[in-house]
């Protein structure tokens, strides 16, 4: 479904600041896979997402989505096939536009509907139906501007915007990290519900090692621009955070030293 072949990316090549962000990444996802991705700062996680989404071009290699080579497809064209959420709840939305206007933009971008002036009654009913399923009461506040919502509400609406037209691939870039624990759990539960219902192929970067083992069906660990662990099925079942850290140390011959991950309230158990 998604295939990355020998993807590499180097920043500032040929200078004293040269940094290999991705090195010969090989990755294959089947349709419906839900892959969690962990790794320390500078491991290459966000660079990987930027290359897949098209906001960065790889130095070498190819990206294939459903058999189609999208390596050089512009990011705005990939947006019809790839949904993405960021850590910042304000990214990906227009804060001065209403909830229904943001949803209308996402609905048109993710589908082949022609642009029309105004939002139809049919579309309003569709948006209300989807919002009601979030359980936040936003279906009765569709005229409210996005910028007035709480972080959790914005992220829930952004999740809906990314999936209101089912994408071929969903990229979640630490989309609950900026939320308080209770809200983060709520948005994480909504995410799993929507992904499961529509069987969306999903990649999720998380700083929570415990979550990386409890969500989805596959866990990847990155370090220094490479995928160093890729576990699923029986190999993943029953694994703990301690197991992951031991596997990292065995593979890399060094300690995992990212405080943000190790000191996470619910990631260090």
Please write the tens of the pLDDT for every residue from 130-162.
999 888 899 999 999 999 999 999 999 999 999
Return d(Cα 117, Cα 120) in angstroms, integer: 9
- Does residue 267 carry a pLDDT above 80? no
- Does residue 174 carry a pLDDT above 80? yes
Specify the pLDDT at position 263: 53
Sorting pLDDT into bands at 50, 70 and 90, what band is 113? low
Average pLDDT over residues 38-65: 96
Return d(Cα 269, Cα 267) in angstroms, integer: 6
Structure tokens at 97: 């536009």
Specify the pLDDT at position 256: 82
2-94+150-262 placed in CATH 3.40.50.300: yes
pLDDT in tens, 201-236: 999 999 999 999 999 999 999 999 999 999 999 999
- Does residue 114 carry a pLDDT above 70? no
Average pLDDT over residues 6-35: 96
- Does residue 265 carry a pLDDT above 70? no
Torsion of CA 227, 228, 234, 237, to 10 degrees: -90
Average pLDDT over residues 100-115: 77
Among residues 164, 82, 83, the alpha carbon closest in space to that of 127 is found at 164
Asked whether 13 and 5 are in contact (CB, 8 A), the reply is: no
Specify the pLDDT at position 112: 54
From first CA to last CA, the distance across the chain in angstroms is: 34
The pTM score is 0.91
Return d(Cα 211, Cα 222) in angstroms, integer: 16
* Mean per-residue pLDDT of the chain: 90
Return d(Cα 230, Cα 249) in angstroms, integer: 15
Average pLDDT over residues 68-73: 96
What are the residue boundaries of the structural domains of the chain, listed by start?
A: 2-94+150-262
Specify the pLDDT at position 268: 39
- Does residue 21 carry a pLDDT above 50? yes
Torsion of CA 141, 142, 145, 146, to 10 degrees: 100
Specify the pLDDT at position 116: 56
Question: Percentage of residues in the chain with pLDDT exceeding 90?
Answer: 74
């Amino acid at each position: 479904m998604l295939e990355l072949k020998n993807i590499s990316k180097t920043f500032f090549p040929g200078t004293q600041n040269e940094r290999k962000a991705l090195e010969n990444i090989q990755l294959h996802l089947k349709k419906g896979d839900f892959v969690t991705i962990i790794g320390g700062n500078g491991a290459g996680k966000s660079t990987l997402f930027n290359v897949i989404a098209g906001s960065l071009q790889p130095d070498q290699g190819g990206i294939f989505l459903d058999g189609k080579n999208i390596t050089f497809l512009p990011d705005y064209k990939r947006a019809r096939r790839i949904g993405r959420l960021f850590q910042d709840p304000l990214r990906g939305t227009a804060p001065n536009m209403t909830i229904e206007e943001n949803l209308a933009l996402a609905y048109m971008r993710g589908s082949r509907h022609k642009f029309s002036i105004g939002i139809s009654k049919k579309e309003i009913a569709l948006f209300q139906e989807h919002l009601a399923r979030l359980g936040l009461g936003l279906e009765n506040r569709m005229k409210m501007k996005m910028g007035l919502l709480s972080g959790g509400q914005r992220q829930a609406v952004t999740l809906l915007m990314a999936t209101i037209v089912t994408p071929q691939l969903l990229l979640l870039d630490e989309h609950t990290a900026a939320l308080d624990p209770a809200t983060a759990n709520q948005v994480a539960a909504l995410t799993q519900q929507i992904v499961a219902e529509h069987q969306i192929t999903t990649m999720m970067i998380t700083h929570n090692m415990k979550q990386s083992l409890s969500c989805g069906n596959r866990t990847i660990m990155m370090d220094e621009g490479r995928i160093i662990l890729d576990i699923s099925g029986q190999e993943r079942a029953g694994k703990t955070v301690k197991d992951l850290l031991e596997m990292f140390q065995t593979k890399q011959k060094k300690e995992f030293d990212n405080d943000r991950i190790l000191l996470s309230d619910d990631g260090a158990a």
